[in-house]
Amino acid sequence: MRTHARTTVRLLVLLLAVAGLTVPAASALADDLAPPVVTWLEVTSFNPDHTPYVVTVDDSANDPTTDTSTLVAAWTGHTQVLADQGETTIAFDPADEGTLDIVVERCSADGTACVDTGLRRTVTLHRHLDLTVLTQPQVGPGTQRAWWYVSPADLTGEVSWTLVDRTVDPAVVLSSGVSPVDGDGFDFDVPDSAPDGLQATLEVHAVSDTSAYGHLEGEDTTEPVLDTVGPALSFHATGSVVYWPKDRYLDSVGVNLRSREAYETWIDVVGPDGAVYPLDHYKGYLLAMRPRFAAEDGAGGHLPNGTYTLRATVKDAQGLFNTATIPVRVSDKKLTWVSWTHTYKAVDTVSKKYVGACSTLAEHGGSLGYYSQTKCERPKDSTVLTTNGVWVPSSPGGDYDDVQVTLTGGGAHPGSAYIVMLYEDYYGNWGYRRQFSGKYGDHPGALVHGHTLIRDRQEKPYVFWETGLTEGSRYDVDRFTVALKYRALR
């Protein structure tokens, strides 16, 4: 009845307008009329294709015989006339989605002027899933995990996915599949043949069927970089042998592992029998790992002698592995002081010689005859001199002590003969002079510390000395004996 009466009033208004009579302005109507009572649905987030949105209006406070206004729902460029009394289902546009405000306005009968009643409702329309898919920045071959953030409803059923190479035209599908919803993510596959370093596109289509929102679908893409090659690494050791007795000589070797891509790192030792002895382990990104290998067995003892393998294993965040190995020998030898003596024929020790014009250096089998002034007596031409040298045993630590050279011989005329011997030290200086009488026998030179006398100790050690005379002396030298102490592995 009220709707019929108000319709009649509106027709009269139109007739008055045609007759040129005045129609009340909207502002006047708004001032004169009582506001309507509007009841909104409690739900503010919904799928309009699943949940009808009904607005209930009660405008009975105004006299229908004089009220010519119309109540209108307005939102984002759309309007819909509301029933004066009762329910109206809002007919949202198919393109409407997201958050919008529904405002109730009171408009003049001809619709030329409207005023806001102050009644409004903010709602959020969901016709699609708001889906965000994430993966690790880099993914390796095999089964990988993807996660999602989704609203307004959780995913149900299965997820369709396709891994595509869109860097080429036409695009190439690398893999595809349908995976079940599992918690907040799903699994997808990266083929072993996928190009390393490719920025691929993972395209995802998901579905949600719930009582609150009905059927919703959503799509998203993400672009992981494919990592199909194990992490690069650099693996070195400071030596190739460990002598584990604690004598400060190669008691251990340093190990240096570097990898910018590894997320987990292991260093272990593999024995000749295949037994594995852990050396170091770290989970997390680590630029370098520098343990030392001291041939320990992890139980308070030492590994048996033999050749072992230092093995580095690195794994990246994608689960890809890489390894490197270094062989290292383990020995229980230790440095021990050893006395060494060796006798050489005199002629076998000559490195250089200088013989004055008045003198002679004679060879008698393995002996040397130093004879001054055999041809004349000029002092400046009377010298007979040899530089002598021999190799000596190598010391792993370069440690020597108590070096002495002994000359065996005597004067050709014992009463007036003499001969002089000097050492050349580590720096190339001559010193430690000894002068021997003409009596035949063993004539020991100076006893000198090996670090002073032994040259090239770390590579190929040797010792130098000089033997000579002048002023008419004549001397026969049969042999030289070199004695020293050095540290050797035993």
Per-residue pLDDT of the chain (490 residues; tens, 9 = 90+): 444 444 333 433 333 333 344 444 444 555 678 999 999 999 999 999 999 999 999 999 998 888 889 999 999 999 999 998 999 999 999 999 999 999 999 999 888 899 999 999 999 999 999 999 999 998 889 999 999 999 999 998 899 999 999 999 999 999 999 999 888 899 999 999 999 999 999 999 999 999 999 999 999 999 999 988 889 999 999 999 999 999 889 999 999 999 998 999 999 999 999 999 999 999 998 889 999 999 999 899 999 999 999 999 999 887 889 999 999 999 999 999 999 999 999 999 999 999 999 999 999 999 999 999 999 999 999 999 999 999 999 998 889 999 999 999 999 887 789 999 999 998 999 999 999 999 999 999 999 999 999 999 989 999 999 999 999 999 999 999 999 999 999 9
Q: What is the CATH number of domain 337-489?
A: 2.60.120.260
**Quick one: tokens of 119?**
């009644």
Q: What is the pLDDT of residue 1?
A: 41
Class of domain 2-125: mainly beta
* DSSP H/E element including 12: helix 2-18
- pLDDT, residue 432, reads 97
| Residue spans per domain, the chain | 2-125, 130-226, 234-333, 337-489
pLDDT, position 414: 74
CATH architecture of 234-333: Sandwich (2.60)
- The string of DSSP letters for 250-295 reads SS-EEEEEE-SS-SEEEEEEE-TTS-EEEEEEEES--SEE--EE--
Q: How far is it, in rounded angstroms, from Cα 482 to Cα 179? A: 84
Whole-number pLDDT of residue 317 = 81
How many angstroms from the chain centroid is the CA of residue 443?
67
SS3 415: coil
If one counts every other C-beta atom within 10 angstroms of the C-beta of residue 89, the result is: 12
Q: Give the span between the Cα atoms of 81 and 93, in whole angstroms.
A: 15
* Cβ–Cβ under 8 Å, residues 73 and 104: yes
Q: Give the model's pLDDT for residue 286.
A: 83
Q: 188 φ, ψ to 5°?
A: -135, 165
In this structure, which topology does domain 130-226 adopt according to CATH? Immunoglobulin-like (2.60.40)
Do domains 130-226 and 234-333 share one topology? The answer is yes
Q: Residue 137: which residues within 8 A CB-CB, separation 6 or more?
A: 224, 225
The answer to whether 41 and 137 are in contact (CB under 8 A) is no
Is 105:286 a contact under the CB 8 Å cutoff?
no
Q: How far apart are CA 217 and CA 444, in angstroms?
A: 103
pLDDT of residue 31: 63
Strand partners, 185: 147, 182
How high is the pLDDT of residue 415?
Answer: 77
State the Cα–Cα distance between residues 173 and 183, nearest whole angstrom.
Answer: 27
